[in-house]
Amino acid sequence: MNIGLVIGNVWATRKTESLVGKRMLFIQPMSFSGKSVGGKIIALDTVDSGVGDTVIYVTSTEATIPFKPQLIPTDATIVGIVDRVDHKDGSWKPAAH
Amino acid sequence: MVRELDSDGSEKSKVIVAVDSVGAGVGEHVLFVQGSSARQTEVTKNKPIDAVIIAIVDKMDIESSGQ
């Protein structure tokens, strides 16, 4: 699993039918110490997260598992909202928003 | 054929060939998935396909650039 910050939304009216009703969010991936790393990605949401939330997401085939048995073409899915991280270099809490 | 874009819309050099599941055309900004996720549509199920276009982007909105 990976950690990231939700930074934006994507809207698409025309999409594959199984994606209708699913929210798509921009994520900035983060290191486990809370720093931004790498390029932004788009993920489906399963936990009602929104801009400003620090989230846990899964990628690759695992991203489709929360939706089974539905066929959902996603390669990144948000599966949790982070309350606090304990890390060997120090604990941190996501900023309130 | 699909050319990858950055989130700010600038073109990357990578071009891939993808199956279309939504009726996209040349010049449209689309979302596509790769790998085994590409087989998760009715169009591509159980077929030897590793990239599929799944949506046509209307609007993108990045509200904060991260930390």
pLDDT tens across A21-59, in order? 999 999 999 988 888 999 999 999 999 999 999 999 999
A72: chain B residues, CB-CB within 8 Å: 40
Count CB-CB contacts under 10 A for residue B4. 11
Query: Quick one: pLDDT at residue B65?
Result: 58
Query: Quick one: pLDDT at residue B64?
Result: 65
In this complex, which of B7, B59, B66 lies closest to A36 when CB atoms are compared? B66
Query: Quick one: pLDDT at residue B31?
Result: 92
CA–CA min distance A30, chain B (Å):
9
Quick check: A39 and B7 CB within 8 A?
A: yes
Distances (CA, A) of A77 to A27, A71, B34: 10, 14, 14
**DSSP at A59:** E
B38 inside domain: yes
Q: What's the number of domains chain B is made of?
A: 1
Contact (CB, 8 A) for B60 and A8: yes
Write out the residue range of the structural domain in which residue B26 sits.
2-56
CA–CA min distance B47, chain A (Å):
14
Query: Quick one: pLDDT at residue B10?
Result: 80
Domains of chain A: 2-81 (2.40.50.220)
| pLDDT bucket at A68, cuts 50 / 70 / 90 | confident
Contact (CB, 8 A) for B61 and B34: no
pLDDT digits (tens), chain B, 67 positions = 788 777 777 888 788 899 998 989 888 999 999 988 888 888 888 888 899 999 999 998 888 655 4
Q: What is the CATH number of the domain that holds B23?
A: 2.40.50.220
Mean pLDDT score, A66-86: 91
B43 inside domain: yes
Tell me chain A's radius of gyration from C-alpha atoms: 14
Asked whether the CA dihedral B4, A26, A23, A78 is positive or negative, the reply is positive
* pTM across the whole model: 0.83
Strand ranges for B1-67 from DSSP E:
2-5, 11-16, 19-20, 30-34, 51-56, 59-62
A65: chain B residues, CB-CB within 8 Å: none
Number of A:B CB contacts under 8 A?
Answer: 110
B11: chain A residues, CB-CB within 8 Å: none
